[in-house]
Each structure stands twice: as C-alpha cells, then as structure tokens.
Chains A and B, each alone.
Chain A
C-alpha cells in the first residue's frame, strides 16, 4: 500500500514539474527530413544542426517576446518520398498544430509539401532544396535560405568578374567542357544564358562521355582553342583524368573552375596531386570560411556529432536562427504574423550567420536574395594541398591571396 502511495506521489510531483517547465507557450516546429533511405546522411546532418541550434536558442531564454517560449521540435522521416512528405505536412498542420514547418532537403519532397503549407497558410522554411521552381510559384508562405540551382552557374560568372576587378587581369575567352549527362548539360544551359551578357566569347563547347578512357583528344581541343577560362562539369574519375592530362600537355588557361561534383570529391586532390594546384571549385561552404563564430560553431558541432559541418548543416543551423529572429519580432504565434515577420527578415549578425554570404533577406518570392555560393582554390600554403575559401571576398580565409591567373606551365 505504501509503495503505491509513494508511486502516486512521485507521479504527481513529476507531473507538476513538467507542467512547471512548460509554463510559457511553446512554439512547435515540424521538420520534414529524409532520415532514412538514400539521402539519410544529409537528413541526419540537417537534424543534428537543427537540434544544436534549437538547444542553444532555448538555453538562451527561448523567444523573449513570447514570454520566454521554448521551441519544441517534431521530426518526420520523408524517406525521400514526395508522398510521405505531403502526408507529414498534413499531419503536422492538422494533428500536431505546428506553428512553422521546415524541410525537406529533397527538392522532390519540398516541392509538393510546400504546396500543402501554402494551402493552410502555415509558414514553411526551406533551408536547402535547390530546385529553382520551389520559390517561383507565387507562394506567400515559403522561404528559402540557400541558393537555388541556377545560382551556382551565376556565381561562377560573378566570381570571374569580381576577380577581374580585384586583380586587374583581363579575361576574354571561355571554354565549356562538361560530362554529357543530365547534370553537365543542365549546367551548360545556364552558362550559355549567362555568357551572353558577360562579354566573354565562347571558344569551345565540348561535351564528353564520363566513362571516357582517354581524354587526350578533348585536351588537344582545349589546347587549340586557347581559352582564358576553362569551365568544367565533371564526375570523379574524369575530373582526375582531365586535370592530369591537361597538366601533361602543359595546357594552362588563366583560370580553371569546376562545378562541385568530381572536383569536390575527396579523392580529387589525392588523385591529381600537384596537378590540382590552383584549380578553383564552387561549393556551398567550407570549414575554413572566414566568418565570425564559424569556427566555434563548427567546434561545438564536431564535439557533439564527431564530424565537420557541411553545407546542408550550415543552412539548417542558420534557418533556425532566422526563424527564432522572426518569432522574436512577430511576438505572436499567429501564422500571418510569423509570415509577415519572416518576409521582413534582415538577419546579418548573430550566432547563426556562419554562411559565406552576408545576410538573409527574402525577396517577394520568398527566396533569400543574398544567398550565394562560395569559391575555393586548391593550393598548398605549407600544410599540403587543401581547399581554401577565396570568394566572396568577406568570407576569404584570412591572409590568403588567391593565385589568379594561374602561373603558366
């Protein structure tokens, strides 16, 4: 009998404690992520970064304008399946009554699940999903933090223009050399659009099969065309083969720039060695980025989860701070008020601002208009070959001067 009394007492006490802890209002955030299936690893990175950010925000007193409201996170596994994503969005809105949704990494899941949120008028924050059209449907409740697909190509050209200005080096001709799959040809469609207004002349437009066993003929064509800038879209094996063959034939354009993919593969540097030196590559984020707090956040993340931050994790982390900032300004849990606060976002400093660009401001479509990629250069400055952030200039690694143009071979 006594034991039952004790049990009842402790139960009542614990109930009291919980109700005490949740005294203020809570903000419920529903997160749709690929936590299993083919994209599970990025999904987990996104979840980890979110959890770390929200713990920090809650520990710092929650949302003060809402009486110190704590943020409660709910997760749904999309399994990278659009249907599962749509069901999760419906459930979050109708059953869980969440205030905000975030997700969903896979563009295929984000695209239909944002439509659900739009229908119910619930704000939906997309940290990263690259498909352009996600923010091009006139939706009012969708806000994307990261750059969209077509901006990769845009930023490669912006980088070239900025570097021309910075170094006084004049570039006039470009060569497009790319793998002939969906990815390569899609990229080049963007390049062709952009090159028209850039003032550069295209001297070579050469697709090649990614499974090529010999790229010497392609390299000879590049030699003949003598471009100032060589722009590449390559998978791993061909990126290595191309870079080595270019070096063998002493082809040295002023600039070689990759488009992620094979050039970002960890084996690219080991497979090419010295030949990879001075090659530029476009990327979302690199651990050496020169931003206040980036190092500390990366250290904290690494301590918790054992790996460095990735582009996906950085976007998710930033998204939580942008959301907290908007909630603070909204001072209400009314979806319309949160939406309005989000649309007026101007997040320039604070612990979350560790992305390479300067601030988060949404345009009328809900796209962060300041989002941008960054460019790294592969070089050896005493610690072996590594990827060094060079652009945008404010994010450049302290003390590094990019080698531009690359020295003649």
Chain B
C-alpha cells in the first residue's frame, strides 16, 4: 500500500517537475543568449496564461490546438519588448556585456505587467472554459495520473527537444549561439545582433506562452499567478545551470520530486526549506549548476 502511494508521488513529482522545467525554460534561454536576468519571467508566464485563457475562451479550441495562436502572439510580444524596452539599454551601455540596468528594467516590467493585468482583468481567479482536460485522470488501481499534467510533461520534453534542435542545427540557431558567445565577433561575421536579440527574446517568451497553455488546464489564472512560478524558475535555472536547456528540465524534475515525495516524511511546508537549501548548496558547491558551463565564455 505504501509503495503504491510512493509510486503515486513519484509519478506526480516527475510530471510536475517537467512542467516546472518548461516554465523555467524561457528564463534559461533568455539568460543564455542575452545575458539578461529577466525578473519579469513570472509575469511572462502570467501573460502566457492569460493569452491561453482568452485564446481558448474566445475560439473554443482545445488548449493544445490554441498553441497555434498562443505561440506567435507571445513571440511577437517578446520581440516587441526586447526591441522597445531592452535594446535601448544595450545601446546605451554598449561596452558592458551584462548591463545591470536591465535588471531594473525587467523588475519594472514585472510590476507594470502584473498591475496592468489587475487593472484590465480584475483580481478574479479564472478557470479555463471550455476545458476538455479538466479533472481527467488515468486510473491504474490506486494510482492516479493526471491527464493535463501528462500532456504538460510531454509538451515540456517536446519543447526542449525542438529548442535544442533549433539551436544546434539551424542557421538561425547557430547565429543565436554565436551572438551569445561573443556579440562583437558575431557582428563582425555579419550577424545582425539586434535582430538576433529580438528573436531570442521572442523565442523565450513564446516558450513562456507554451508553459501558460500547459498550466491553464489545471491551474487558475489570476494577475499575480506568475510570482510563485518566478521564484521556482530561478531556483530551477540555478540548479540546472544557467543557459542549459536540459539542465532546466533536470532541475525541474529534482524540485518536483522533492516537493512530491518530501511530504511523505514531513509537513509540506518543510519541502520548501529543502528546495531552498538545495539551491544554496548548489551555489556553494557547484555555482555553475548541474549542467552549466564551468567557465564563462
């Protein structure tokens, strides 16, 4: 009996962990390429969730089919933000590779986006409707597997795989990696670094949109929904290694398992302490994270 519950918690931990990984993926990508620490990441997730919510509510599409609307919309949103808000700072601080001012700007974006959502959508907790995945469970005796989370975990792996292939194999992906290694050298090779930045930010935001679409079928949407995910994303990204795609997924799964299995042995408030303890431990022992590059480029 106990083993059944253990298995149950493990399955939930892995599924939820992969989804956490997907949530953190946009953050790690934006850091990896732009060297921008995006404090507004949670708000991007929130925007992604509202975009998914409205895309599904207005069209009546299946939430995963609505990705066809969500991904381009979020890509444009990220592209526009980079072009209008972050690029001027890169231009102003041309000699600095990681302009600190950007942190202030992304923090500002976080507040503006969250409060804008509050102003426009109100403080209500919205549930997706129509929601064909709502409450769907696979049932194996005593073991329940949540279908929306299963879909979400699959989407996480697929997104990570696609992103990996894109960065490794396509011409644009190579240009993005070149820019992330050395902006000036890339520019000398004829790469338009501003365009690459815009695109990289667009992709990172689009991934946040995918995360939003994955979350809405089993999570309510409200203006500050990004905050708990924001904190979690930072822990995951540091754990897995800043800029590493697979690191984000592995970091996510570790957190998911701690959160899920931990409560068997203690009250669930303590699992948070373990998560943050792990975070500190990684910073002390292996600051580059599990899959991060040891040396700065």
Contacts and interface: CB of A to CB of B under 8 A. Distances in A.
B269 A207 contact: yes
Interface string A182-197: 0000000000000000
A385 interface: no
Given A241-B219, A267-B125, A212 B260 contact: no
A209 B228 CA distance: 11
Contact of A273 (B127, B232, B262, B268): B127
A261 interface: no
B126 interface: yes
Contacts of B260: 214, 216-217
B31 interface: no
Interface stretch (A15-23, A51-59, A67-75, A243-251): A243-251
B222 to A, nearest CB: 7
Most buried by B among A214, A244, A248, A271: A214
B229 A209 contact: no
Interface stretch (A133-141, A145-153, A218-226): A218-226
A94 interface: no
Contact of B144 (A206, A249, A270): A249
A157 interface: no
A261 B263 CA distance: 25
Given A217-B260, A241-B219, A270 B8 contact: no
A213 interface: yes
A213 B152 CA distance: 14
Interface string A203-242: 0011111011110111011011000000000001100110
A270 B127 contact: yes
B59 interface: no
A180 interface: yes
B268 A212 contact: yes
Interface residues of B, number: 35
Most buried by A among B8, B125, B259: B125
B124 A267 contact: yes
B227 interface: yes
Given A209-B269, A247-B135, A267-B125, A241 B220 contact: yes
Contacts of A270: 124-125, 127
A275 interface: yes
Contacts of B114: none
Chain B binding surface, main DSSP class: helix
Contact of B5 (A205, A206, A220): A220
A237 B222 contact: yes
A236 B16 CA distance: 22
A275 B135 contact: yes
Interface in B216-241: 218-220, 222, 225, 227-229, 232
Given A180-B269, A208-B267, 17 more contacts: A206-B267, A207-B268, A209-B268, A211-B227, A214-B259, A214-B260, A216-B16, A216-B260, A217-B259, A217-B260, A218-B263, A221-B264, A223-B5, A237-B225, A241-B219, A248-B146, A267-B124
Q: Which 7 A-B pairs have the closest CB atoms?
A: A217-B263, A267-B125, A211-B228, A208-B268, A271-B125, A216-B12, A180-B269
Interface of B: 5, 8-9, 12, 16, 20, 124-127, 135, 137, 144, 146, 218-220, 222, 225, 227-229, 232, 256, 259-264, 267-269, 271-272
25 contacts: A206-B267, A208-B268, A211-B227, A214-B12, A214-B260, A216-B12, A216-B16, A217-B259, A217-B261, A217-B268, A218-B263, A220-B8, A220-B263, A237-B220, A240-B127, A241-B219, A241-B220, A247-B135, A248-B137, A248-B144, A249-B144, A250-B144, A267-B126, A270-B125, A272-B127
